[in-house]
Structure 1
Amino acid sequence: MKYSILFILLFVFVLPLSSQKKYSIKSRKAISLYESAGESYRNRDNEKTLQLLEQAIKQNPKFIEAWLFKADVLHSLGKSDLEIEAYKRAIEIDAVYFPNVHFNLANSYLKVGKYEKAKKKYKDFLSFPKISSRNKKLAVRRLDNCNFAIEMMKNPVEFHPINLGDGVNSEFDEYWPSLTADEEILVFTRLSPIENLGKEIRVKRQEDFWVSFRNDSTWRPAQTLSTTINTSNNEGAQSITADGRYMYFTACDRKQGLGRCDIYYSIKEGEEWSKPINLGKPVNSAAWDAQPSISADGRILYFVSNRKTGKGKMDIYQSTLLEILSNGRQRWSQPINLPVNTRDNEMSPFIHASNEYLIFASDGMKGMGGFDLYKSTSDKGKMWTKPVNLGYPINTFGDELGLVINAKSDKAYFSSDRLEGKGKDIFIFDLPLEHQPPAVSWLKGKVFDAVSKKKLFASLQLIDLATKDTIAQINSDRINGNYLVCLPAGREYLFSAESEGYLFYSDHFSLFDEKEKSSPQELDIPLHKLNVGNEVVLRNVFFNLDSWKILPKSELELNRLVELLKNQSNLKIEIGGHTDNTGSEEHNLNLSKNRAKSVCDYLIMKGISKDRLTYKGYASYKPIDTNANEIGRSRNRRTEFKIVK
């Protein structure tokens, strides 16, 4: 237990080692009890301290020093209501004896959300001519917070939290939820008791990871995540990638740690989690590094640190994955201090699957008191906007220290003990429209050998065709071939899958339509070996209507084919052009042939020998879908390549 500032001040000014300074009263009995209380407090015996102070006050109810001391002890114990009453009694006795009592009482009112009363006491405190500049600044700032909170309460946001139920929540504390993009897997931290039997029974509490799987709308009974990760020490503050295969978490006081707390990661293959690995420098340092939040595809990490290079006490940093070394270890960039940080504390970051929306907690901005939740948005994670308070009653006078949002952007999950539950529980609520991030859909399935059906380890890429930026780069599971990739709305994508010894797979997604923005899809990907007769549809080769001029956004796809041909120098291919059945046969045959020739010409321009290339127009003779509707016709209008040697 730390000695509080008020206690130190009291004992400097009103409890000297000798009796050179007079007390406000003359009762020797009361003073003796008061001084004995001071000894008990120094010995960290709060219960005896309060008993002695009660006796001193009973001897003389106007003993203002005893009331102030009592309030301070109650403050250290978190007994706000009793603390407030003690401060009020001290002020009733003498309102000018110790000016800081008005500041302390205002803080106590603010802590329990009594904003009007807090305002009055801050104003009373500021009316004194001789007060410390530090407390004066704090009082002005907190007075501003009171006004802000009062206005927030006049304009509440929609907030109707629902307990996730007995599958997730128990009689113990559950907190720090992490969610896969499809909302089928929930990982969280549970604080469970551990009984140690000895001469006496001692109950310790330990943080471990638990997981629950969703069955329709119900969460199944949670189970421990992994004995490989959970240890006899504490593990907590975890974050998982959108596919649930990578987890980053906080562990403290480990032998291999670089600082007080470090960030570790583990990888799931099949149903097994790997042994955790310390992320190492430069993410971890000699300082406190914790509370990671990983981007959907695992390429950008946000975390909290109190390293000396920070702007405030606790700051949020961002680091980018540079490479995965041959031994499986990850190498990260030098962390960047985010512009949302203040001189105080920023904590519990959460980056949404869109990679453009950050939630975090701060006690250094205008808020309701304590830690409030804020949002900031960015342009591809570069320039962050001025943070916005999420409003009341999402934020209250208490500490709000964590919130995650689903990929669809309409639901939020958080942990709280301020609502009806069994201690600290995890809740879900509909996120107000004004706070919803850009919607993110997702695509998931399995990658496998087209012939043997063997599940494959493959590299999958999602690229924005307009900007040519890589939006996501992930791998399928080595054991079961599973993958999941997020598709942020409002863009057009090239999606590809590659595995050694196989032809690449190509697909195209356009998420501009409102329905497509929030429509998850399942897509199993069969990969074909580099054998004669196997072919690939180039779904990201584009032409204008009735034209064979290749559009610029086709270059990404065609360059992938160039790379394949350069790496496989013995391959010979045929480029095939296909149309739907609209228009005359002669027209379609000419169009498909010239489109195939355009692709051949591009490959030759990029250094591929013309002796390895042939082309042919097939018109509408080889449809792969119906020509009865536009969706089918659009699939039939395509360019393919086929291995001929």
Structure 2
Amino acid sequence: MPFLFRSVIFAATCLFPYLLLGQIDTVQALDSVNSPYDEQAPVLDPVEKALYFTVTKHPENVGGIKDQGDIWVSMPDSTGDWGVPQRVAVLNNQDYNAALGFSPSGDTLYLHGWYTGGESVYMKGVSYTVRTDTGWAKPKRLTVKFFKNVAPHQSGTLSPDGKVMLLSLEAFSGRGAEDLYVAYRQPDGSYTGLKNVGDDINTDRQEMTPYLSPDGETLYFASNRNQGTGRDLYRSKRLDETYRSWSAPEMLDTTINTTGIELYFTIDLAQEWAYFTSNQNSEGYGDIYRFRLPPPPVDSTRQIDSLAPDTLPLVDTPLVDSLLISVVDSLVVDTGSVVEVATTPMDSSMADTTEIGYNEAVAVADSVMNTEADSLDRLGWSQLRLQVFGEGDSLLRSAKVEAHWADTTWMGVWEDDSLVVGYPDTLTEFDLRISAPRYFAQEHTFNLADSLVFFSFSLDPIAVGATVKLESVLFRRGSDEMFPESSVELDEVVKLMEENPKMEIELGGHTDNRGNPLANVELSEARVATVKAYLVAAGIAAGRIQGKGYGGAKPISENTTEESRAKNRRVEMKVISNDD
């Protein structure tokens, strides 16, 4: 089978070596912007040249001194200094509010959290607002496919062309605490599933506040990987177009990094000033600082060499856990491993069949995938090959693989000991669902900007007693009304029970320990009833679903902080029977 190699050439500018070599003369505090409170997340407006940032626990915030953060803005004056900040009312409420970044045109501002339409932001997603003649419009939720974050905060950035989003989250395939993840913009404005950027950047410590330089070539981020030195700022050079291959991170100059906490490095579009936050000499609260950058000289172009076949990374390359992102983390085993980098073009007669339906796709796959390999060397389509293993590392011949793109479902076809999926070369990505009777399913997004690979997966058996936390089943505060996005995870539960008709479950509702214990039990029971009603309405027999509200009687974390209490507020699914 032929290998696919590419050589990519970038026009690169100097990567600010003086940030490492002690050539920074003066670091200035933004006295006109900083307050006795905590300044965070500076983001520069490319249109109005304004500085957006977040201030926590400011008495003028929506929630006053208990407010976790409102967005403020400062406009530059004629001398280049920053003016008195003002709150941006439409972007704020009583929860944490922060800017993520601007679109290339500056007409769209991306925001952390989901604005639900009420008084709260659900701090586990991304929203956006558009610039109008009268200011910013009401924020709307942005689709980032299969989004998940179990950390109490998030941070992120956009590439200069807006095609790539980097987020700091605690999510799928993590190395420890918060890691950096990448998502790619789709034609409809949404973003693909998140992919861990890999071990070049991420450690078992925190990687936070990513920022991409104006040329898109250099990543700046904060990390506490050096224990005992707080959080410091690092930089790394991008090595390819996937945003998952990076040079070894280097710590910035000690004029910037101190014994305190440095976060949120950013550079203005003119590349005149760099900004960051630090709590050094500020009584523990963050302030915004800046220093002037000399004009970066234009350097030569750099070339990323093609990999020769004998140097092509195979099993040891950490691709799978960053390529493949599950819908429901608890239902998924992140154990895919790269076996071989290869492509096999398929029959050119299939090149115009992107819109074929489900039955036609199965028929075409049966006729083409079982053809002799030498007849597959045609243009227009390619293959993805997978192996699926179960208990005892045995090959699961009962496994099924479905590929989904647009309105098409493509069923994988067994060829020798592999499942083979075909797809048009015109695709940029598609979704895969891997399932087998009596095993938990996996769902992944395969991004075709990456090298095409041969994968193996291990599925977890559905064992009696296995308990799954339904992370994305969310309710309004103090209510049994589910948020609409809960349907994604519940639909996966429906599929699982349809594929395993003997499976019976117990739904358990849990709260934290605040409030009246009896009322907590009643609330958890009502939420369980809501989830059960959804599953029954989807066709699952009511007799297969038991439910119980436990209130705060079964905590999985201490109830001493808001973060730990949030872990205790949950709905769980436990397998109580799976007889043949």
Q: TM-score, normalised by structure 1?
A: 0.38
Which of 1 and 2 has higher RCO (CA within 8 Å, sep 6+)?
A: 2
**Structure having the larger proportion of residues in strand:** 2
